[in-house]
Structure 1
Amino acid sequence: MVLKKCLFSCIFLLLIHPTLASGSTDYRQGIHAFREGDFLSALEHFEQAEAAGNSQVTLFYNLGSTHYQLNNLEQASDYFSRISDDEQWGGLALYNLGIIAEDLGQTHQALAYYHQAATQAQTSNVQQLAQAKILQFEGTSSHPSSRQPGFIYIAASLSYDDNLTLTPEDPALETFSGTYLEALIQGRHYLQGNQHQGSSLQAYLFQRLPQDSTLDKETAFSLGYQIHWPVNAWESSWGISFGSYLLDQETYTRDLSLQAEGSYSFEHFDLRLDNQLGLIRGGETFDYLDGWQNRTRIRLLQPGHWELGYQQELNQRKDFTEDPQFISYSPTRFRLFGRLSRDINEQLGVSLRLEGRLSLYPDPEVDGEGNQASSKRQDWRWRAQLGGVYRLNKTFSLFAELQHLNNRSNLAGYDYSSNQLQIGLDAIF
């Protein structure tokens, strides 16, 4: 950061000279203190000048520069943002906002500021500085010199669920409760470049083993290919994957999916968009699931702290038809979700996740006797998850999660709830 602070000081001096002769006493004393390296005194004098009614662009710029020297990045960003639209000094302020974003590790936002600075700056000096930064980011990523190693994630857990099969709340139906084991392994291998620009293979394998041997063993796997490519200040990836889901040894579904993702970093949070279109083929006894599914999701998040999101899911399936019975498997779903996470210390972290989902089915159901439901099915499903993680070291962690799931429907036979407790161990390599 020392080099950046030197660059900041030089730009600061370029800005203050025109106001030296006409500035207030506090303003002049602030400039003198800054040039002597006494940034606390400089800040005090500049703030007194502001309190006295000085609202010049140059004062706000100098306040931003002083806060930066004191490592008050949020305050520095605030003052530079105030003058980012100024015709004369806005380009310089945007350039400095880019430097602050770099210091905060917000590379996408930094690049966006540099692009704005290069366009808006009135002097060739600032334009050249901004272009050099753009070249540093985009030029380097355009020709990745080394391949990112990728990762492997492994997890194993033991869970208890008081309604393993999500049996409807009906006294005539038996509810299965019990324990099960889960194992997951997933990974990514970069064929070229890295997560910013390059290509990668990713794989996923999951298995659930109920303690009750009368219940189905569940297995899922997928293999995919992705291209990662920056678009201005956005990061994007485009991919294709093939997956399958099995119940015991029988295929439940197979799918071919196309994915598109984009992310953009603002000053305090990230915006992430993604879409997945899946072409689905049901197994021999599940052909009513044949069709397609599209999921579009938007998320705002501060990684490791909070997340808010919305997802819309569209389905067009063959549906279940066995004259005269008809059951729709083509709902349109709307999902809202949020998560809060907090680290208690370096080892212990906790999180809370809440989710609500509305499912609307397009056609009324018909039972086995030919009776049509008086209204189309509508389901509200609520989920609450409370989790904790204890980091044993940089590789291994213990985790636990308590979940409550509740589904309410306007049709009889679709109300259910479950409570689940999970404990496990995971590792990332």
Structure 2
Amino acid sequence: MAAGIEHFQNNELESARAAFESARAAGLNSDSLIYNLGVVYYRLGEFELAANAFSDLLNTGNNKLAEYNLGLVAKAAGDLDEAAFWFNRAASESAPEKIRALATLQLEERKQKASSELSPIPWMAYVSLAGGYDDNIASVPESGSSGREGGFAELLAAGSADVYQAKTSTVRLESAAYSRQYPSESDFDTDFLQIGASWLERMGPGRAGMTLGLSQSWFDSEALERTYRMDLSYQVDQCPVVGTGSRCRVSVSTGVVEGGDGFEAYDGQWYQARLKGRKDFTQWRVDAQYRWDMNARDDMEAGEQFVSLSPQRNLVELAVRYKVSQRWNVGVEGSYRYSRYADPHRLFDSRGVLEIDRRVDQRAQGTLLTEYVLSARWSVRGEWMFRDNQSNLARYDYRRQTALVGIEGVF
């Protein structure tokens, strides 16, 4: 540990990090080591790792020091509401005088900025531009392959701005846009636009939220769906079972869908419940998710034939990322989705015989990914995805692979 302190005093942050992490891996787990490791992570801009380290001190005699530093980490990460929460705790009467004074100073600084007419609105933005190859654009069975495969260009942009902030409340405006264009198969071009407004409130150990949103999707330049949605959520920064370095989020959502011209069969409603969790380790990150969906659409009927567009779905997903170095990350993701449609399909087969059966799909998906950080804002990423959909109705069986390389930025 002494070597780590010496490296830190010489501003050799990477060497200090390596020394402190080696000491912890060897079994040393003192409050001093954890604190120094948190400070190094903070100085390196590794805010999540810094928060995990300081969180480990919350149940020790240095809890007020940990709360103050968690406020600094949240402030540096741009989460001013979270920062205010920790500074308020660090400014309590039970805190040591020096820490209380520092935390109070941070809170006063925030009040002054909030009262200033020139105070900037906290905001963030994300943009990603990628290109890739899709070997089954139409998602059709191999036996009925249309030969539709080819390259694509993909754009994703998202942003948010906190237009109102109080002691425990935040009002946030959000937007997102997505586009995938196939130069050789333009009738499969897809576009999506979404806007929303969220209210976030600090409640107990976590944060509750409500979002109202509007989205519009297009397929082959034609309006596909317009959705009016509402989300309710609650997130805690330390899951009760998993412990420090974790976060959990539960949410329920509902939406009303209006199909575009020619897509009226998609009119209806959908309902969703989701449980997400994350656990951070020194070099590993594990994300898990369970999602339940139910659809109540108008469905599609033409003469004797009928197609249900109202599935009930259950999805489980697991993602693991590993930090190879300060700049390089690799990861793997896997998911399984079970879908059962509300009413039996009635479709003519190739012999002209009307088949009646309820559609049941099982979809497995795996993804390999890698990311290399170019700077504090920009990184490049590569991704390969394989999807295998097995259905009791053979016409819905398919396999699909996509590969892409792109650049992304966070502002």
**TM exceeds 0.5?**
yes
Is 1:166 the counterpart of 2:139? The answer is yes
Q: Equivalences for 1:29-428 in 2 at 5 Å?
A: 100=66, 103=69, 145=114, 148-169=121-142, 171-193=143-165, 197-266=169-238, 267-302=244-279, 305-368=285-348, 370-373=354-357, 376-428=358-410
Aligned-partner Cα distance in 2 for 1:80–1:208? 46
Q: Quote how far apart the aligned CAs of 1:268 are.
A: 2.6
Q: CA deviation at 1:144?
A: 8.5
| CA distance in structure 1 between the aligned counterparts of 2:181 and 2:155, rounded to whole angstroms | 9
CA contact (8 A) 2:57 2:66 kept: no
Deviation per CA, 1:47-98: give whole Å up to 9, x if none.
xxxxxxxxxxxxxxxx9878888989999999996xxxxxxxxxxx6x7556
Q: Which amino acid aligns with 2:252?
A: N
- Between the aligned partners of 2:274 and 2:105, the Cα distance in structure 1 is 32
Deviation at 1:215, TM superposition (A): 2.7
Unaligned ranges ≥5, structure 1: 1-62, 82-92, 119-123
SS of the aligned residue for 1:215 comes to helix
Distance 2:316 2:384 in 1: 20
Who is 1:88 aligned against?
Answer: none
- Assess, with a 3 A threshold, how the Cα gap between structure 1 residues 153 and 279 changes in structure 2: closer, same or farther: same
Q: How far is 1:314 from its partner?
A: 1.1
Amino acid aligned to 1:182: E
**Partner secondary structure for residue 226 of structure 2:** strand
Residue type at the aligned position of 1:300: G
Structure number with higher strand proportion? 2
Contact persistence 2:148–2:185 (CA under 8 A): no
Tell me, which stretches of 5 or more residues in structure 2 are unaligned?
A: 1-28, 40-51, 75-81, 239-243
Shift of 1:159: 0.9
Q: Secondary structure at the match of 2:147?
A: coil
Superimposed CA distance per residue, residues 189-241 of structure 1 (whole angstroms, 9 cap, x where no aligned partner): 22122896321211112211102145332111111111121112211221111
- Given that 1:147 and 1:193 are in contact with CA atoms closer than 8 Å, whether structure 2 keeps it comes out as no
Judged with a 3 Å threshold, the aligned counterparts in structure 2 of structure 1 residues 155 and 111 are, in CA distance, closer, same or farther, namely closer
| 8 Å CA contact 2:193, 2:215 repeated in 1 | yes
Aligned to 1:20: none
Give the partner amino acid of 2:271: N
Q: What is the rounded CA distance, in whole Å, between the counterparts of 2:161 and 2:54 in structure 1?
A: 40
Deviation string for 1:264-323 (max 9, x for gaps)?
A: 011231111122211111112111111111121111103571111111111111111122
TM-score with structure 1 setting the length = 0.69
Highest CA radius of gyration, 1 or 2? 1
Worse-matched range after superposition: 131-140 or 275-284: 131-140
CA-to-aligned-CA distance 1:323-356 (integer Å, 9 cap, x gap) = 2111111111111011111221221111111111
User: 1:65 and 1:177, CA in 2 relative to 1: closer, same or farther beyond 3 A?
Assistant: closer
In structure 2, what is the equivalent of residue 51 of structure 1? none
TM-score (norm. length: structure 2):
0.72
Give aligned pairs, total: 344
The answer as to whether partners of 2:54 and 2:67 remain within 8 angstroms in 1 is no
1:66, 1:76 within 8 Å by CA — same for their partners in 2?
no
Query: Is the 8 Å Cα contact of residues 141 and 197 (structure 1) preserved in structure 2?
Result: no
2:21 corresponding residue in structure 1 = none
Q: 1:203 to 1:132 in 2, by over 3 A?
A: same
Q: Percent identity?
A: 20
When structure 1 is superposed on structure 2, of 359-368 and 283-292 the one drifting more is 359-368
Alpha-carbon distance, 1:147 to partner = 5.5
- Contact 1:218/1:247 (<8 A) preserved: yes
Residue pair 1:111, 1:233 contacting (<8 A) in 2 also? no
1:363-383, Cα deviation, whole Å (9 max, x unpaired): 22111454312xx22111111
Paired with 1:196 and 1:345, the residues of 2 have a C-alpha distance of: 37
Report the Cα distance in structure 2 between the residues aligned to 1:138 and 1:290, rounded to whole angstroms. 49
| Residue pair 1:152, 1:185 contacting (<8 A) in 2 also | yes
RMSD between aligned residues: 3.9
Q: What residue is the counterpart of 2:44 in the other structure? A: none
